[in-house]
């Protein structure tokens, strides 16, 4: 097993080198001029040149690249100009915020979508199948910012059930000591129930927004893959052997249908993590997506590079985890690997 993982990790190295080079070149190819932007509205030509020199942007590209790689090797992703802090610090504090939101969103979504998909497949053509189709279509066709704003409007503005949408915590609560960066876990570990409640209350609306959006791919994939498995011969045999339908569906059919579902989950997770910028904007969530977009708008190179790199590493890890999960679910994959 370890050898397999090691081999997999080795193949990752060229990918990462490619990512480093491409992000560096891409950010340099952006049309904006960071020196002009950060020199401020009243900057003279000399002032802009001075800022350019301070930022090291007056050096030729190869030299900038060498410096970038050297810093990278030391774990230094550079400084963000727009927030004034090291990119590493920012990512360390913002990635957990996004991850907490996305993971919870995914769990909620899974809890609804997987049973819904199974039921839809088992009772194909019934009302539950139609419900599944309607829910999936509606979820995927509502843009996240719209769902988010609608939920805020109904549950915060009109009903007043939800706390104000101003980020991970109420304005008057202070963040728990950082252990994992997941507020729910950190507050429980430090025994601070007040913060736990506040963090959970803040999470509900954005989590539901994300869950609604990611319902569709999971439910549809579960349904399709269940349908294929249910039509296969071993299920027919199992049924013919007189096993009760619960055992047939859960133990035999679902386990075999899980592979494509897990793949979809992995894809949905990584997609959500980077793409929930809009949810982060709506709920003032200090996540990594909004950080990257903000940086991009201001031609702030370092965070963009840091973001892409983090995402690349995350994808790699995620793929590895999924591959391992494959092995757990389906022994055949393990043998081949």
Partner 1 sequence: MKRRDFLKSATALAAGTAISAPAIFSAAAQSRNETLLIVSESGPNNLDIHGVGTNVPGYEVSWNCYDRLISHEMKTGANGAPYYDRDKFKMELADDMKLGDMSATFKLKKNAKFQDGTPVTAKDVKWSLDRAVSVGGFPTFQMSAGSLTKPEQFVVVDDSTVRVDFARKDRLTIPDLAVIVPCVINSELVKKHATEKDPWGLEYTKQNTAGSGAYKVTGWTPGTEVVMERNDAWVGGKLPAIKKVIWRIVPSAGNRRALLERGDADISYDLPNKDFVELKSNPKLTIVSTPYSNGIQYIGMNVKQPPFDNPKVRQAVAYALPYQKIMDAVLFGLSKPMFGAPADFKTEVAWPQPHKYNTDIAKAKALMAEAGYPNGFETTISFDLGFAGVNEPICVLAQESLAQIGIKCSINKVPGANWRTELNKKTLPLYTNVFSGWLDYPEYFFIWCYHGKNSIFNTMSYQSKTMDAFIDGAVTAAAEGDKASYDKDVIGMVDTAYADMPRIPLFQPYVNVAMQKNVTGYQYWFHRRLDYRTFAKA
Residues that bind partner 1 (CB under 8 A): 30-34, 36-48, 50-51, 54-55, 80-85, 90, 93, 149, 152-153, 156-157, 160, 164-167, 171-172, 174-177, 190-195, 281-284, 286, 290-291, 294, 297-299
Q: Which is nearer to partner 1, 7 or 70 (CB)?
A: 70
Q: Which is nearer to partner 1, 54 or 137 (CB)?
A: 54
Q: Which is nearer to partner 1, 14 or 41 (CB)?
A: 41
Q: Where are the beta strands (DSSP E) in the chain?
A: none
CA atoms within 13 A on the CB side of 294: 18
Q: Is the CB of residue 195 less than 8 Å from the CB of residue 187?
A: yes
Tokens of 170: 């109420």
Residue 297: CB minimum distance to partner 1, A? 6
Alpha helices in 190-287 (DSSP H): 193-230, 233-240, 245-246, 255-275, 277-282
CA atoms within 13 A on the CB side of 67: 12
Tokens of 62: 């190869």
Q: Which is nearer to partner 1, 153 or 234 (CB)?
A: 153
Residue 103: CB minimum distance to partner 1, A? 20
| Closest C-alpha among 107, 133, 333, 330 to residue 229 | 330
Three-point CA angle 311, 325, 225, nearest 5°: 100
Q: Which is nearer to partner 1, 93 or 319 (CB)?
A: 93
Q: Which residues lie below 8 Å from residue 279, measured CB to CB, with a gap of 6+?
A: 101, 144, 145, 148, 206, 209, 210, 285
Residue 322: CB minimum distance to partner 1, A? 32
| Closest C-alpha among 170, 163, 200 to residue 182 | 200
Residue 282: CB minimum distance to partner 1, A? 5
Residue 23: CB minimum distance to partner 1, A? 17
Q: Which is nearer to partner 1, 81 or 212 (CB)?
A: 81
Residue 14: CB minimum distance to partner 1, A? 32
């Amino acid at each position: 097993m370890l050898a397999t993982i090691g081999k997999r990790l080795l193949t990752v190295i060229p990918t990462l080198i490619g990512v480093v080079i491409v992000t560096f070149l891409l950010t340099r190819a952006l049309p904006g001029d960071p020196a002009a932007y950060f020199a401020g509205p009243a900057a003279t030509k000399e002032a802009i040149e001075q800022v350019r020199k301070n930022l090291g942007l007056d050096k030729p590209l190869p030299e900038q690249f060498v410096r970038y790689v050297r810093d990278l090797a030391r774990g230094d992703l550079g400084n963000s100009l727009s927030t004034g802090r090291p990119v590493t610090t920012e990512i360390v504090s913002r990635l957990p915020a996004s991850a907490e939101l996305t993971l919870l969103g995914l769990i909620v979504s899974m809890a609804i979508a997987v049973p819904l998909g199974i039921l839809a497949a088992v009772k194909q053509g019934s009302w539950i199948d139609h419900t599944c189709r309607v829910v999936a279509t509606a979820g995927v066709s509502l843009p996240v910012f719209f769902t988010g704003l609608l939920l805020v409007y109904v549950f915060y503005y009109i009903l007043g059930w939800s706390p104000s949408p101003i980020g991970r915590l109420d304005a008057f609560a202070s963040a728990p000591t950082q252990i994992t960066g997941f507020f729910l876990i950190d507050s429980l570990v430090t025994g601070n129930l007040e913060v736990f409640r506040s963090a959970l209350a803040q999470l509900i609306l954005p989590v539901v927004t994300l869950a609604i959006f990611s319902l569709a791919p999971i439910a549809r994939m579960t349904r399709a893959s269940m349908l294929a498995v249910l039509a296969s011969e071993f299920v027919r045999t199992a049924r013919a052997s007189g096993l009760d339908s619960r055992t047939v569906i859960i133990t035999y059919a679902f386990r075999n249908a899980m592979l494509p579902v897990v793949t979809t989950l992995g894809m949905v997770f990584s997609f959500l993590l980077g793409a929930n910028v809009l949810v982060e904007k709506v709920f003032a969530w200090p996540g990594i997506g909004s950080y990257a977009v903000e940086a991009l708008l201001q031609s702030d190179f370092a965070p963009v590079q840091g973001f892409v790199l983090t995402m690349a590493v995350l994808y790699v890890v995620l793929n590895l985890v999924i591959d391992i999960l494959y092995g757990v679910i389906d022994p055949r994959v393990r043998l081949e690997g």
